[in-house]
């Protein structure tokens, strides 16, 4: 009986970043676990419906993917989350998984951690991201998604870990969380920062990265910083494009399989 791996992400409607960030991570998993059946699922039903209507692309949600796996002879299922934090989408994924556990005669269903989960993850993410070589008057500001979930504190914990490892000019703000760019700008001024490098701290570089962070609209992070007198450089690449980050997701999967 074949073992199956279900790779679960929020999803994106951008084809290019889907291939660069989600598909590339799935391919690393396929290369590492060649004898497994590999399937994809998104947790965002909105993204799923839009892809189906606009592009004719059919993507399973978690329930649909598990249903298809159940139709085979698979008895052991490993699920790897590509979520960044254990927030609402991660919990929704678990609710869908739990609803299946009593319906089918599995041997086991195991779930891999999101990118940031335990203390060791924070250390590894800091080591994985290239934040070296900054001048005294330069800073990197990451844009996280943010959430009203308690896991929003993951972003501040990660920023603390950067500081702990000696990267004092690295900041993490969010679009929908507690720490915003408005909170970071006074800190940049206080530390006499002249140049800011903006990077998304999201799996894919979608709407938030392209528009809210690096867009030409007046309220984008780029333009807010320019208005305050900073030089600004934008880096519009999702975390899934970073080989070091993809390897962390693979290592979380290895933890539950091996």
Please list the active-site residues.
Answer: 145
**What are phi and psi for residue 46, nearest 5 degrees?**
-60, -45
Say whether 145 counts as a known binding-site residue: yes
Say whether 109 counts as a known binding-site residue: no
Say whether 200 counts as a known binding-site residue: no
Query: d(Cα 56, Cα 152) in Å, to the nearest integer?
Result: 34
Say whether 204 counts as a known binding-site residue: yes
User: How many helices and strands, by DSSP H and E, does the chain display?
Assistant: 11, 8
Burial of 98 per CB tally in 10 Å (0-12, 13-18, 19+): exposed
Say whether 217 counts as a known binding-site residue: no
Say whether 89 counts as a known binding-site residue: yes
State the CB neighbour count (10 A cutoff) for residue 32.
Answer: 15
- Alpha-carbon torsion, ordered 36, 244, 143, 85, to 10 deg: 40
Say whether 203 counts as a known binding-site residue: yes
Report yes or no: 85 and 150 within 8 Å, Cβ to Cβ: no
Of 142, 124, 63, nearest in space to 255 by CA? 124
Say whether 37 counts as a known binding-site residue: no
Say whether 67 counts as a known binding-site residue: no
Say whether 92 counts as a known binding-site residue: yes
State the CB neighbour count (10 A cutoff) for residue 103.
Answer: 10
Tokens of 124: 């590894």
Write down how long the chain is.
258
Say whether 196 counts as a known binding-site residue: no
Query: d(Cα 159, Cα 161) in Å, to the nearest integer?
Result: 5
Say whether 10 counts as a known binding-site residue: yes
> What residues are designated binding site?
10, 85-92, 145, 176, 203-204, 208
> What residues are designated binding site for Co(2+)?
10, 145, 176, 208
> What residues are designated binding site for substrate?
85-92, 203-204
């Amino acid at each position: 009986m074949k073992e199956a791996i279900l790779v679960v992400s929020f999803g994106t409607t951008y084809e290019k970043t889907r291939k660069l960030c989600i598909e590339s991570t799935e391919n690393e998993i396929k290369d590492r676990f060649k004898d497994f059946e590999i399937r994809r699922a998104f947790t965002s039903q909105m993204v799923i419906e839009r892809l189906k209507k606009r592009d004719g692309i059919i993507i399973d949600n978690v329930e649909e993917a598990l249903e298809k796996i159940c139709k085979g002879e698979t008895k052991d299922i490993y699920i790897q989350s590509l979520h960044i934090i254990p927030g609402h989408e991660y919990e929704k994924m678990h609710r869908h998984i739990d609803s299946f556990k009593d319906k089918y005669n599995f041997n086991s269903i195991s779930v891999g951690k999101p990118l940031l989960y335990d203390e060791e993850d924070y250390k590894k993410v800091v080591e994985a991201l290239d934040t070296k070589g900054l001048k005294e008057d330069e800073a990197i500001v990451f844009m996280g998604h943010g959430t009203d979930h308690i896991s929003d504190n993951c972003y501040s914990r990660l920023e603390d870990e950067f500081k702990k490892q000696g990267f004092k000019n690295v900041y993490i703000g969010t679009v929908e969380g507690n720490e915003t760019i408005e909170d970071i700008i006074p800190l940049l001024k206080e530390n006499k920062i002249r140049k800011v490098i903006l990077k998304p701290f999201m799996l894919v570089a979608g709407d938030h990265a392209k528009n809210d962070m690096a867009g030409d609209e007046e309220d984008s992070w780029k333009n807010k910083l320019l208005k305050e007198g900073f030089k600004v450089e934008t880096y519009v690449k999702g975390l899934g494009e970073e080989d070091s980050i993809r390897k962390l997701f693979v290592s979380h999967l290895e933890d539950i399989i091996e």
